[in-house]
Amino acid sequence: MSFDIEQIRRDFPILHQKIYNRRLIYFDNAATTQRPQQVIDALNRTYIEYYGNIHRAAHFLADKATEAYEETREKVRGLINAPAREQVIFTKGTTESINLAAFSYGEAFVGEGDEIIVSEMEHHSNIVPWQLMAGRKGAKIVMLPIDDDGRLKIELLDSLINEHTRLITCAHVSNVLGTINPVKKIAETAHAHGIHIFVDGAQAAPHLKIDVQDMNVDFYAFSAHKMYGPNGVGVLYGKRELLEQMPPYQGGGEMISEVRFAGTTYNELPYKFEAGTPNISGVIAFGAAIDYLGSVGIENIANQEKTLLAYATKRLMEIPGIKIYGTQPEKSGVISFNVEGIHPFDLGTMLDKMGIAVRTGHHCADPLMQHFNIPGTVRASFAFYNTPEEIDLFIDALKKVIALF
Ligand code: PLP
């Protein structure tokens, strides 16, 4: 499959505009990516051609919408190599997927005195739901630390796991450090001790080939808006035997089988976990995003982003006083850095005025900021539509900003 960067960039209309009269350079892809015309068209088509509420009415529009919605479920199944479509649950994003899993898993499997291991590099979305669950169940959160290169100290796992441990959770890829965690290996360790593993795949699914069966993870979560799809759509994958034992997260329409005032029975998977009218058009358009990713090719995407990461790292190292956080070799296209003597927020604001979108702050990873004893970083995160030329412009702008201070 060939990789035509000019054509790819033409597919993304938002990239071709000026910001403050400067060419837009979008390096905030870890926060959210932009959408190709194919996804925008798919979204529009649902409203123009076949919008109706799914799974319920026996009429043409509802049937067509249901078919398209369920087609996306099958596409997601294929994308992550899930064994069955029933194991793909649609949510509104990674955050909701984690809240769902933490609540329902907690109800089914966690009791007083139990322990959940959470890695130090997690996004708040993969810390707080587990803390809430632990608070309800009288369980304890145990931290799996990182080293100063941003590598998870998985060699400590054996000593952290004991007879109270129920589950370990970590990101597949860190949103701050870019570290790619060895989740297959962590899953092996977890299962050797009879515990489960939940993986936050928000920063991995857009960039890597995901095979939930090969990694043998028990749960995997990600968001469509970080994958060139619509916002308000996410996925929770789970092993069937676990999902079947877990109670519903929310009550409402669709998730029931029969409702009586004497008691309610629940629908089968995946509907048991999909209460209420979902983001119908968003899920359908997510199908178009998956098609688009397939047409570019995940290997091409990974290669382009690897090239960008290596080039940006090399160019950033030219800058005196720069410190990059996340320096171990297994890394995705995210660079967090600070420049000595300049607050990250000031750097980000000045870069914005030069047309360059980066993110600054704690990146919803306070414990990680505490590890490095910093208030925040500047984060540049790449997508396959970015180019080395944009990196050159970014470095020039950064040098100008630093000279001003
Ligand atoms: N987990 C990680 C690693 C993330 O980077 C993010 C978002 O940046 C999330 C979870 C939350 O994703 P969402 O806001 O789409 O629910």
pLDDT digits (tens, 9 = 90+) for 132-180: 999 999 999 999 999 999 999 999 999 999 999 999 999 999 999 999 9
pLDDT in tens, 190-220: 999 999 999 999 999 999 999 999 999 999 9
| Same fold? 5-30+297-404, 41-294 | no
Does the beta carbon of 203 sit less than 6 angstroms from any atom of ligand 1? yes
The pLDDT of residue 345 is 97
Known active-site residue 170: no
41-294 placed in CATH 3.40.640.10: yes
* Cβ(223) – ligand 1 distance below 6 Å: yes
Residue 177 tokens read as 């450090």
Tell me, in angstroms, the distance from the centre of ligand 1 to residue 123's CA: 7
Residue pLDDT, tens place only, 252-307 = 988 889 999 999 999 899 999 999 999 999 999 999 999 999 999 999 999 999 99
- Using CA atoms, how far apart are residues 106 and 110, in angstroms rounded to an integer? 5
For the 5-30+297-404 domain, the top CATH level (class) is alpha beta
User: Rounded to the nearest whole angstrom, what is the distance from the C-alpha of residue 31 to the centroid of ligand 1?
Assistant: 8
Kind and range of the H or E run holding 376? none
Q: What's the pLDDT at 34? A: 98
The active-site residue, picked from 19, 357, 364, 393, is 364
User: Which tens digit of pLDDT belongs to each residue from 45-74?
Assistant: 999 999 999 987 789 999 999 999 999 999
DSSP assignments along 117-184, one per residue: EEETT--GGGTHHHHHHHHHHT-EEEEE-B-TTS-B-GGGHHHH--TTEEEEEEESB-TTT-BB--HH
Q: Which residues contact 35 (CB under 8 A, 6 or more apart)?
A: 12, 14, 228, 229, 230, 289
* Predicted local distance difference test score (pLDDT) of residue 1: 66
Domain residue ranges in the chain: 5-30+297-404, 41-294
pLDDT of residue 321: 95
Is 33 touching ligand 1 by the criterion CB < 6 Å?
Answer: no
- Give me the helices (H) in 84-239, please: 94-109, 128-137, 157-160, 183-192, 212-215
Nearest CA to ligand 1 atom 14: 95
* Residue pLDDT, tens place only, 364-397: 999 999 999 999 999 999 999 999 999 999 999 9
What confidence tens digit (pLDDT) does each residue in 18-49 have? 999 999 999 999 999 999 999 999 999 999 99
CA torsion sign, 271 to 273 to 277 to 280?
A: negative
- 196 closest CA partner among 104, 282, 270: 104
Report yes or no: 175 and 203 within 8 Å, Cβ to Cβ: yes
Question: Is residue 300 in contact with ligand 1, taking CB distance under 6 Å?
Answer: no
In eight-state DSSP terms, residue 248 is P
Average pLDDT of the segment spanning 92-100: 98
**Residue 21 has which token pair?**
């009269």
Is any atom of ligand 1 closer than 6 Å to the C-beta of 267? Answer: no
Tell me what pLDDT residue 2 has: 80
The response to whether residue 377 sits with its C-beta less than 6 Å from ligand 1 reads no
Query: pLDDT at residue 184 above 70?
Result: yes
**Of ligand 1's atoms, which has the minimum distance to the CA of residue 225?**
15
Ligand 1 atom 6: residue of nearest CA: 202
pTM of the model as a whole: 0.98
DSSP 168: E
Angle at alpha carbon of residue 383, lines to 381 and 384, rounded to 5°: 150
CB neighbour class for 47 (10 Å; exposed up to 12, middle 13-18, buried from 19): exposed
| Residues forming a β-bridge with 234 | 91, 223
The rounded distance, in Å, linking the Cα atoms of 151 and 226 is 23
| CA 261–ligand 1 middle distance (angstroms) | 38
